[in-house]
Structure 1
């Protein structure tokens, strides 16, 4: 927009300065083309791939959502291109006389994964998430259940999709999942929208991504030798990038997953990407993987601050600090937790939604994710000791009232009901609990939940 930007936008958001908007440029020859990069975007993607240890990286201008969409769509297209699959022109999958394409994924995956199933025509195989035995927080999918699903569906499996870490910071056993998928010749797609920073936390990072002391020294030596590439998960919005191993040749025309991802991204991303967003991605990578290691240092300091708050709150009556990676969590399949995330619940006190309201109105503290039973907070490179003390004080205040808590219900972005899924009493109770506790429900035909849109009545007439 430049000098022609609306004055209210400039005054309200930019403090009367046009500096940022002067860089809000279109696809100029000097700025490269996101969908056919040959210049600075290509260089930025190569640097990002090196920083994250990937063979290939695609910059995303439409957030992690388009990365999830493109990854699943690409895997289904690649699956269809292999011998026995449906012809690529015969979408959706399975409509051209070939085998159907099955995607194995947890039932509590983000709704973008469900949208990808719809767009690709894939058939879902939902796996029930393992839940923390004490808090009910989802911990991902068990390896045994994944192996059983791979065996059951065999050559029909187009991809396995999993989320690690979760909103609450629970990390799944991705290593074992990858071994199972690779052994079956199936691509593994991992939604790591909340974990871009984990590889840069040093000793604070959860396994299995934590490097050995020798690997850490080698990585830092390489960064210094190559002029430094430090990264910080601090791009504008959750823009992020999609990483891949670049492998997987397909049918006779050598249709690869890499090509399929490139094609899918051209379909789901904006054809006019924001270069401010793209620049923020490259800046975040530089800040995390650059010579100064500035963001890496700040992230590790933030982890120490978060640990201090956990320790302080652990002795406060009425507050439960959830240790998802503790003994009970590990036994349930959680291999580690994000040290920058803090999840608390209240004994006999308010539920998560009401706690969130109190925190905002009385203290100006905003949670990353309020749930019906707990509240999750995130520390970052800008967090200070004072921020931690302010949060601890606010949570002490919230723990004082004693009110009825709500039952476990769905989280933000995770559908309670899917199109074509049976409407159960448990699902209705969960939605009602969210509504009664002050949560917002989207996607329903009747926001009051007084009525539901029924496609097929599964109850026999004689039982009505």
Structure 2
């Protein structure tokens, strides 16, 4: 356990005795790999230099790929793993931190699983990641959903206000916790401090899905991290912009009024869902990412400067729009993540889907996501890509939209979800049947369906399927690079519905 009450930026990485200069777990794994082992254990490749894996990725990858429970690494007292976890807790300002090897999705599932110990109902931002809904299926909790603001021009959801959260808590006497997302997929930062104060005034903790904000707080130009603003539990998808390997993440519990209750619950839930074969490579990458974020503020400053330059050039050339320039119109947004570059491509005569396809195919440039109206590019903290190459390719894109294409693009708005009639778990476990999509309208969904990325569910288990949502998902599925997570087929032509209202108590109020 590690406690800390001051902002980590008050510490200098050159202070004598600063442990943040080390990466104890990664260094221990590297030293372990340097010895002449005869490996008669898992993984089965045994670090053999002649294996296909070693030939393809290089021998260092297989040499560093160790299983858990090794003396001198993660077994015994005061291990390099324990030291790495303590340093991560110190760096992010947590009471305790857990390393995750199944992404922030695992952290969201853990948070949802421990909530029933605190109350019966989770007050949840409706635009949470699908992994939170998966957690509701696992926990069986009721949910009261707080609707986010929606940008009708861009067709994207932002965040929620403290006022909206307070109203939801007022009608939820058995609330267990408040669960929000900040920042959003497009970089909108919520007023976490105000929402935390609202949750605490109601006697419940605040959980923040900060998957896209693992870098927050590590440079003055970045927004503050949710833990420093009063959040009680935070999921951090460190691999996204923090620099660790894909699928690695962290879960933090804050020092605060709920810490004594949350910490043992989280630790037990962590053991339920964490692999007993957690990857040493993923864990070491978390240790190294923490060190880089804490120690090298100059590198992060370079990333912020590079992203700002892209936005400034886009503004100066005038063809495309910068989505965050319109954030001031939404009361739930207090800041924008400077490492997120969300661009309105429709303003420049091309849909986001087509822009993404042409950037990938013609210029070998990958962006994070596309919608009908926009693309989102990201720059990882501590990294400076070739932004000139991106700007040149972006501004050489054709303008293929006809008037009807523009109308079609404008019509694809983010639809409001249908009303919730069952809990996610009730719907998931109910008897079901598969119907053609048009016949499923008006029925209760048994599945989670999400336009992916960003993975925000458009239909939840237990929600009534609407014609507007079906049209949105089908149009998303047919767009270039379009994908609907949870769909039974690529075109979303069939949907799984609850066969009758099994498990539905008509005397119980709707869950949302």
Give TM-score, length-normalised by structure 1. Answer: 0.80
Partner Cα distance (2:355, 2:86) in 1: 44
> What residue is the counterpart of 1:239 in the other structure?
248
Contact 1:68 1:113 (C-alpha < 8 Å) held by counterparts: yes
Partner of 2:214: 196
1:374 aligns with 2:374: yes
What's the secondary structure of 2:313's corresponding residue? helix
CA deviations over 1:37-60 (Å, ceiling 9, x no partner):
742222111111111111111111
The gaps in structure 1 that reach 5 residues or longer are 81-100, 212-231, 459-464
8 Å contact from structure 1 (residues 132, 328) kept in 2: no
Deviations 1:238-261 (A, max 9, x none): 4221111255679xxxx8211000
The answer to whether residue 183 in structure 2 is matched with residue 165 in structure 1 is yes
Matches within 5 A, 1:110-259: 110-132=129-151, 134-154=153-173, 156-202=174-220, 204-206=221-223, 233-246=242-255, 256-259=261-264
In 1, the alpha carbon distance for the partners of 2:369 and 2:129 equals 14
Structure 2: distance between partners of 1:357 and 1:136: 20
Q: Tell me, what secondary structure is at the counterpart of 1:445?
A: coil
8 Å Cα contact 1:164-1:170 kept in structure 2: yes
**1:328 corresponds to which residue?**
329
Retained in 2: the 8 A contact 1:129–1:138?
A: yes
Query: Which secondary structure does the structure 2 equivalent of 1:453 belong to?
Result: strand
Structure 1 counterpart of 2:400: 401
Is 1:3 aligned with 2:47?
Answer: yes
Are 1:428 and 2:428 an aligned pair? no
Let me know the Cα RMSD of the aligned residues. 2.5
**C-alpha separation between the residues in 1 aligned to 2:124 and 2:374?**
25
Displacement, 1:5? 6.7
CA apart distance, 1:448: 2.9
1:260 and 2:265 matched: yes
State the distance in 2 between where 1:281 and 1:302 align: 19
Q: Cα gap change, 1:245/1:208 in structure 2, threshold over 3 Å: closer, same or farther?
A: closer
| Structure 2 SS opposite 1:264 | helix
Q: Aligned-pair distance for 1:457?
A: 6.8
CA contact (8 A) 2:121 2:175 kept: yes
Match of 1:30 in 2: 72
When residues 19 and 445 of structure 1 are mapped into structure 2, their CA distance, relative to the original with a 3 A threshold, is: closer
Contact between 2:47 and 2:54, CA under 8 Å: does it hold in 1? no
Aligned partners of 2:355 and 2:476: how far apart in 1? 14
TM-score by length of 2: 0.73
Aligned residues: 399
- Give the equivalent residue in structure 2 for 1:270: 275
